[in-house]
Amino acid sequence: MGLSGFVTTSLVICAARSTVLAGTERTSVAGRSERAVPTVEIFTPALTSKCLEGEGFIQVVEMNVTNMDSSKYLTASHGLTVRVDSNSLDTVIPGVVKRLAPRQSQLVQVGVKNRSGVPAGTQCNAAVVASAGQSESRATANVTGVCGIGNYEASVASLRHHTSPDWFNNAKYGIFIHWGVYSVPAYADTAAGFTAEWYWFWSHYPAKSKMYEHHEKTYGRNFNYDDFISNFTVAAFDPKEWVNLIADAGAQYFVPTTKHHDGFALFNFSSSISRRSSIHYGPKTDIIGKLMAAAKQYQPSLRRGTYFSMPEWYNPASAKYSWDPWRNGYVAFPGGPPKNPYSNQVVPYTGYVEIKDFITDIQLPQMRQLAYEYDTDLMWCDPGGPNNATIFASEWLNWARDHGRQVTFNNRCGGSSGLAGDFDTPEGKTNNEIVARKWESCQTLDPHSWGYNYWTPDGAIHTGEWIVTSLVDIVSKNGNFLLNIGPKHDGSIPDIMQKNLRDAGQWIKAHGESIFGTRYWNTTAGTGSLRYTTTTNAFYIHYIGTPPSTINIVDPVPYLPGDTVTVVGGSKNGSSVPVNWNGIGTLKLNLSSDIISADKYVWTFKIGYSAQ
């Protein structure tokens, strides 16, 4: 079986560091008749850090294959395959291109293995070759990089070549969970734009936030933030119900908050560095451990991530690492010790253990604990700041390789070090256009807060329709969607959040083939109500909102007569859709009233490529 455009499974990590040779030499596959192969060229070939599951390590080589012809289509009948020729590598799984409209390109993947006697991590040269059938027509492009699985070093230069693995690229949709001591007061000054998980910080600034006034009136001046810990009971926390809800929502991974900026951790680690955790105070239990165990037992297909706050607001050991990313008069991470905001007197930092250095003695050991003892697939750092992330990431990636796994980390782990991570994380927003570098939009079901906010009415919670339309839009632009929920202090998830997640999940599961494992169409994400996703064998058209009886598509979708056009999802799933087509950019879908009434939120149609 050939690979083209995407990989469906990916469990082994490779440490390939690749560059494209300047002035890459190319020759072209040239068409000589109407049925001849159109002119094709190969652009941006790269030996990637990704591998495929298989016998031994199968490294992925990626490139863009472009149909340079202005009028001819490339189809499956041309038999175009892509391989890698090298003295150091053997092609194990060739790439296949089944459809390229004129002037369009596709990401293609080829699986390779080091030849016998070529050590992992060898710097090598290769030629990527696209060939059509038995003819001599071909396109080539040279590439150099690291062949096989070498070691990452603790440097930005080394780690920048790691990219998001294909399990993450394919997963598309995850659930974010903000839950901690801040879920007890559960209050946010939303009019000022503040969120509940920042309750402790903003209660120090009466001129900026009503949280100061709210805390005084509700709890009194002598009630310190850490006094909330005893009320963080988690009495209704059921990890099985949580992971089943995530699966019902249609999500493929989840990312719980293991420690937020208040420094109160929900996982276990050595008490010689800190006792500020749910192990020693509050519920006195390993919350993250129970959640991960439930996922493995009841929903083993879910990928498991971990959110981790790099700094702590008021840890006494972090004073020398005071960090001010805002530069607006409010130092976001001032360091400790904490003070009562009304008396300005120093108060205890519950569970604090005196150590020499915050980064080396708390931050780095806690990250290692999550990586190795909690088996995380994804390290979701926040928000950056001083760190030893290059040490952590290099160790973790090398460990993952040795254990046959692929893992990933976001752009916030590096902070000021310049470590870009595997993907970007726009917060509370999306991108308006396609972004080629992998990204993940993190947004929250409560539009006013990440942590649970008691004052948000049910009617303000985002609906199932909003979830679905957001997901389709984000995926069409090469993004993942990480959607946040905020459980209550006792571990119960608000009914309205459960209802809306499951409502969206019904649509997502019914239309999963058009979302999961797809890639964006690099011609355009779509215009107006239209969005697009692609696979090797099909092209998906998404119409956001109730469609008209005729959908006129002026975008140059790669349809040809002989292709099948069918409904995806809804009660008319698999039904044929009549079309009119007079050349590229003129496709019309003719919808019956039965098809229009058969679905909700987003209507999806599949162009199945013919073999001709």
Q: What is the DSSP string of 358-412?
A: HIIIIIHHHHHHHHHTS--SEEEEES--S--HHHHHHHHHHHHHHTT---EEBTT
Residue 35: per-residue pLDDT: 65
Q: Which residues are CB-neighbours of 388 under 8 A, at least 6 positions away?
A: 359, 360, 363, 364
Overall average pLDDT of the 323-328 stretch? 83
> Is residue 366's pLDDT more than 80?
yes
Query: For residue 305, how many C-alpha atoms fall within 13 Å in the half-sphere facing its CB?
Result: 27
Q: Which amino acid is at 288?
A: I
CA 517 vs CA 162, 405, 535: distances in Å: 20, 19, 8
* CATH architecture classification, 521-608: Sandwich (2.60)
Identify whether the C-beta of residue 566 lies closer than 8 Å to the C-beta of residue 575.
yes
Please confirm whether the linkage preceding 256 is cis (ω < 30° from 0). no
What dotted CATH number matches 170-513? 3.20.20.80
Residue 226: per-residue pLDDT: 98
Residue 208: per-residue pLDDT: 84
Phi, psi for residue 117 in degrees, rounded to 5:
90, -5
Residue 8: per-residue pLDDT: 31
Closest CA to 468 of 458, 455, 483: 483
The owner of tokens 């310049």 is 418
Residue 329: per-residue pLDDT: 76
> Is residue 474's pLDDT more than 60?
yes
Identify whether the C-beta of residue 424 lies closer than 8 Å to the C-beta of residue 482.
no
Burial class of residue 216 in the structure, from the number of CB atoms within 10 Å of its CB (0-12 exposed, 13-18 middle, 19+ buried):
middle
Overall average pLDDT of the 265-290 stretch? 98
Reported as a single tens digit per residue, the pLDDT across 433-449 is 999 999 999 999 999 99
> Is residue 327's pLDDT more than 80?
no
Overall average pLDDT of the 38-65 stretch? 90
Residue 554: per-residue pLDDT: 97
Residue 53: per-residue pLDDT: 63
> Is residue 92's pLDDT more than 50?
yes
Confidence of residue 607 (pLDDT cuts 50, 70, 90): very high
> Is residue 136's pLDDT more than 90?
no
Helical packing angle, 287-298 and 239-248, nearest 10°: 50
Question: Quick one: what percent of the chain has pLDDT higher than 70?
Answer: 93
Residue 26: per-residue pLDDT: 39
Spatial distance between the Cα atoms of 20 and 62, rounded to a whole number of angstroms? 11
Residue 137: per-residue pLDDT: 64
The full DSSP string for 414-467 is SGGG----SBB--BS---SS--SS-EEEEEESSTT-SS--TTS-GGGSPPHHHH
Spatial distance between the Cα atoms of 395 and 362, rounded to a whole number of angstroms? 17
Identify whether the C-beta of residue 524 lies closer than 8 Å to the C-beta of residue 481.
no
CA 312 vs CA 232, 292, 317, 333: distances in Å: 19, 24, 9, 7
Residue 39: per-residue pLDDT: 93
Helix (H, G, I), strand (E, B) or coil at 588: strand
> Is residue 132's pLDDT more than 90?
no
The tokens describing 437, both together, are: 């570098």
Pick 414 or 395 by higher pLDDT: 395
> Is residue 318's pLDDT more than 50?
yes
> Is residue 30's pLDDT more than 60?
no
Spatial distance between the Cα atoms of 609 and 536, rounded to a whole number of angstroms? 9
Closest CA to 254 of 177, 165, 175, 178: 175
> Is residue 17's pLDDT more than 80?
no
> Is residue 10's pLDDT more than 90?
no
Confidence of residue 33 (pLDDT cuts 50, 70, 90): very low
Q: Given its phi and psi angles, is residue 133 left (phi above 0), alpha (psi -120 to 50 degrees) or beta? A: left
Identify whether the C-beta of residue 167 lies closer than 8 Å to the C-beta of residue 11.
yes
Identify whether the C-beta of residue 255 lies closer than 8 Å to the C-beta of residue 176.
yes
Average per-residue pLDDT for the chain: 92
Overall average pLDDT of the 9-38 stretch? 40
Class of domain 40-148: mainly beta
Question: Are 40-148 and 170-513 the same fold in CATH?
Answer: no
Spatial distance between the Cα atoms of 564 and 343, rounded to a whole number of angstroms? 73
Overall average pLDDT of the 536-545 stretch? 98
Q: Which amino acid is at 168?
A: F
Confidence of residue 390 (pLDDT cuts 50, 70, 90): very high
Residue 1: per-residue pLDDT: 34
The domain segmentation of the chain, as residue ranges, is 40-148, 170-513, 521-608
Q: Which residues are CB-neighbours of 431 under 8 A, at least 6 positions away?
A: 439, 441, 474, 477, 479
Residue 54: per-residue pLDDT: 58
Least confident range of 186-200, 284-298, 321-335, 358-372: 321-335
Reported as a single tens digit per residue, the pLDDT across 453-470 is 999 999 999 999 999 999
Identify whether the C-beta of residue 485 lies closer than 8 Å to the C-beta of residue 183.
no
Q: How far apart are the first and last CA of the chain?
A: 18
Spatial distance between the Cα atoms of 369 and 349, rounded to a whole number of angstroms? 22
> Is residue 34's pLDDT more than 60?
no
The owner of tokens 């990636």 is 397
Residue 6: per-residue pLDDT: 32
Overall average pLDDT of the 527-536 stretch? 96
CA 301 vs CA 7, 55, 610: distances in Å: 17, 21, 32
Identify the DSSP state of 323: B
Closest CA to 482 of 438, 526, 520: 438
Spatial distance between the Cα atoms of 223 and 201, rounded to a whole number of angstroms? 15
Confidence of residue 600 (pLDDT cuts 50, 70, 90): very high
Q: How many residues are given for the chain?
A: 612
Residue 113: per-residue pLDDT: 95
Overall average pLDDT of the 68-87 stretch? 95
> Is residue 417's pLDDT more than 50?
yes
